[in-house]
Amino acid sequence: MHSISFSTAIISGRNHYTSDLSPPSLRFCGLRRATLRFSRASRSEPRRGSLSSKLHFKKLSASLSDNRSAAKAFDYDLVIIGAGVGGHGAALHAVEKVHKLLIDSTGVNSVSVSSVIGRRADQQLQGLKTAIIEGDVIGGTCVNRGCVPSKALLAVSRRMRELQNEHHLKALGLQVSAAGYDRQGVADHANNLALKIRNNLTNSMKAIGVDILTGVGTILGPQKVKYGKVGASENVITAKNIIIATGSVPFVPKGIEVDGADSSFTSSSFYFYSLYTKLRKTVITSDHALKLEVVPDWVAIVGSGYIGLEFSDVYTALGSEVTFIEALDQLMPGFDPEISKLAQRVLINPRKIDYHTGVFATKITPAKNGKPVTIELIDAKTKEPKDTLEVDAALIATGRAPFTKGLGLENINVATERGFIPVDERMRVIDAEGNLVPHLYCIGDANGKMMLAHAASAQGISVVEQVSGKDHVLNHLSVPAACFTHPEISMVGLTEPQAKEKAEKQGFEISIAKTSFKANTKALAENEGEGLAKLIYRPDNGEILGVHIFGMHAADLIHEASNAIALGTRVQDIKYAVHAHPTLSEVLDELFKSAKVSLLSSYSYCANQQQIDY
C-alpha cells in the first residue's frame, strides 16, 4: 500500500543500549498525522475516502508527475541519522508538509490522507525523499530510557504518595487502608508503556512513508552516508540534506564505577540467589534505574538536576531513603533560585531525604562481598576529602554526554566541543575551521542546545522548514521545561538572575509578579494549595522574560506562558484573556493581571482592541 517515492530515512545506530524509541505524546508518535482529517467546508465537497476524492487525487498525482525534485540526483532528499524523538519529529514534519500542500491545492476535506493519497503523490508534490537510520531501537532515549518510562514510574509515585498521606486524605474526608505496591507490576507498567509508544512511533513512520533503515549510520563525506550492521555489508546512500540526531547517553564522572548485570553467583541456595539478585546492580544510571529491578532501602543520588529529582520522588514514594550529593552549593541549581528554595521546602525537607551540597563524589565502588556501596566525597572548592558514605545503591544523575561515536565526523572535518556537535542558530553544523558544512544539520541532545525531547523535535521541524525553502529560527527562550515531581516544577525563558544580567547589559528594568496556588479555588478543592507562579517581565513594554511555576500540574500550566513568548504576546495583551473558573489556569490569569506595565504600552493594547471591535 505504501510503496513510497517520497521518503524520509532515519538511521539510528546506538547498539550498546537496548531501549526503544517513543515520543512523549501522540504528537511525537505521529499517529494523528498519519490519519489527518479535515473538516468539510461545504456539503458539496467530496466525502472522506469517497471514490470521487480518490479519483481527484489520482488526477492530481498524474498531473504533477513531472514535478520531481532534485531527488533524481540523490537517493534521498533528507536522511536523518537517529530515530529518537528529534529524528522522528523531523521525519513526520517532512511528510506532514506534503499532506498540507496536497489538501491545500485540492480543497478536499475530510480525507484520510494516508489511505487516499499514498506516498507517490507526496513525493511528486513535495519532491522530497526522506529516510531515517536507527542503529538500536526506534524512539531513542525518550521513549525507551527517558521521558516515557520515567513518567510511568512517576504516575505510580504520585498515587502512592497520596494514598500514604493520611493528613491529606483526612482533609478530603477519605479513609484508605495501608497502600502497597508490587515492584514487578510497577516495573512492567513502565516497560509496557515504553513498548507501546515505541510501536506507535514505528508504525506512525511506516504509515506515512518514512523509510526506516537499520544499522549504525556513518557520514562518509558531503551528502553521503553508509548504514548497516558493523561487519555486515554496507549500504551507501546519498542525500541532498542530512540531519544528525544521534542523541546522548548518561554521563558518568571519572572514578565512579557503574556495575553491570554480568557477574555469576556461586551459592546454590535460592536465598542467596535472591539476595544476589537484589544487590547485583548497585551503582546505576537512569538506564538501569528505570527498569526498577530493585527498590533500595537507602539510595544515594549523585546530582540534583532533573533526573535526580524525579527519581527521588519515585524512590521515596516507594519507601527508599535518599541522600543527595550535589556539587554546587544548593540543591536543584538549574532552576530559578526562589523556585528551588520552595521546592526544597516541599519536595526535600518533609521527605526521607538528606543531602550533601558543595561536594563531588570522586570515587564510588559498587557493593561487593557483603560490603555496601562506598562513596568518597571531596569538597568541591578545596578538593579536600570530606566524607565517606556507605549506602545500598547509588544512582548517577550527573548529566548526559552527546553520542557521536561511529558517526564519521572526521570525514567532514567536524570537531566536537565537549563532545557536542557545534551548530549555529539554524542547527547548521559548523566545521573545525568555523565554516558551515553545506546540507548538514544536527538536532537534539547531540548539539547540546537544550536537552529536552520537545526541543529536539522542534529543532527537527525547524530544519525541515529550512530545507523546504522557508527560513526558520527556533526561539529556544520559548521552549518550556518541566520536572515531573509532585508537585511539578515548570519554567520557560529566563530565571531571575539571568533576566537581571540581561537587563543590566541591555539597560532596561525588570519587574517580578507572583501568585500563590493558595488563593486558587481548584487547587484548594484538591487540597493542593502549595505552589507559586512567578513572572519576570519588562515593565516598560510588557515583554515576558520568564515564567516559573511550582505546584499541581505546573507542567501543563506553563504552555500559556511559552506560547505567549513564542508568539510575542505581551503582558498587556494576555492579561485580558479569559480563563474558565474554577481552574488551575486562573493562577496564571492572576499572575498576568497582577503585572504592572507602563500606561503607554497598555494604551496600545486598548487602541488595538477598539480597532478590532469596531
Ligand X SMILES: Cc1cc2nc3c(=O)[nH]c(=O)nc-3n(C[C@H](O)[C@H](O)[C@H](O)COP(=O)(O)OP(=O)(O)OC[C@H]3O[C@@H](n4cnc5c(N)ncnc54)[C@H](O)[C@@H]3O)c2cc1C
Binding site residues for NAD(+), as ranges?
303-310, 326, 399
C-alpha 514/C-alpha 528 separation (Å) is 18
Spatial CA neighbour of 531 closest among 347, 313, 353? 347
Partner from ligand X, ligand NAD, none binding residue 21, C-beta < 5-8 Å depending on class:
ligand X
Residue nearest to ligand NAD (CB): 305
326 binds, among ligand X, ligand NAD, none (CB under 5 to 8 A by kind): ligand NAD
Q: Which long-range contacts (CB under 8 A, 24 or more apart) does 41-46 make?
A: 41/107, 41/109, 45/107, 45/108, 45/109, 45/110, 46/108, 46/109, 46/111
User: Is 23 an interacting residue with respect to ligand NAD (CB under 6 A)?
Assistant: no
Smaller CB distance to ligand X: residue 117 or 481? Answer: 481
Contacts of 492 (CB under 8 A, 6+ apart): 477, 478, 479, 480, 481, 546, 547, 558, 561, 562, 565
Check residue 109 and report its DSSP letter: -
The Cα–Cα gap between 302 and 315 comes to 14
Question: Of the ranges 345-353, 396-404, 545-553, 581-589, which one interacts with ligand NAD (CB under 6 A)?
Answer: 396-404
CA distance 119 to 127: 11
Helices 453-467, 85-106: crossing angle, 10 deg rounding = 50
CB of 311 to ligand NAD, least distance (A): 9
Q: What is the binding site for ligand X (CB under 6 A)?
A: 11-14, 21, 24, 81-87, 133-136, 140-142, 145-147, 150, 216-217, 245-248, 286, 307, 403, 406-407, 444-446, 451-454, 456, 484
Binding span for ligand NAD by CB under 6 A among 82-90, 162-170, 407-415, 477-485: 477-485
E strands present in 143-258 = 211-214, 216-221, 224-228, 235-244, 248-250
**Nearest approach, Cβ of residue 427 and ligand NAD (Å):** 18
* 136 or 259: CB nearest ligand X: 136
Question: Out of ligand X, ligand NAD, none, which partner does residue 397 contact, by CB within 5 to 8 A per kind?
Answer: ligand NAD
Annotated binding-site members:
151, 217, 246-248, 303-310, 326, 399, 445, 451-454
- Written in H, E and C, the secondary structure of 321-340 is EEEEEECCCCCCCCCCHHHH
At 337, list the grid cell: 533560585
Q: Which does 305 bind (CB under 5 to 8 A by kind): ligand X, ligand NAD, none?
A: ligand NAD
Q: Give 326 or 586: the residue with its C-beta nearer to ligand NAD.
A: 326
Q: What b-and-e string marks burial along 451-461, b requiring 16 or more CB atoms within 10 Å of the CB?
A: bbbbbbbbbbb
The interface partner of residue 408, options being ligand NAD, ligand X, none and the CB cut-off 5 to 8 Å by kind, is none
Q: Which of 302, 367, 395, 423 binds ligand NAD (CB under 6 A)?
A: 302
Q: Taking the complex as a whole, how short is the minimal distance between the CB of residue 441 and ligand NAD, in angstroms?
A: 21
Interface of this chain with ligand NAD, residues 248 to 277, rule: CB under 6 A: 253
CB of residue 455 vs ligand X: minimum separation in angstroms?
7
DSSP secondary structure, 395-437, as one string: EE-S-EEE--TTS-GGGGT---BTTBPPB-TT-EEE-TTSPEE
Can you tell me whether residue 49 is helix, strand or coil? coil
The item of ligand NAD, ligand X, none sharing an interface with residue 441, based on CB under 5 to 8 Å by kind, is none
Residue 476 annotated in active site? no
The catalytic site residues sit at: 581
Using CB under 6 A as the criterion, which residues of the chain lie in contact with ligand NAD when the complex forms?
253, 302-308, 310, 325-328, 333-334, 360-361, 397-400, 451-452, 481-484
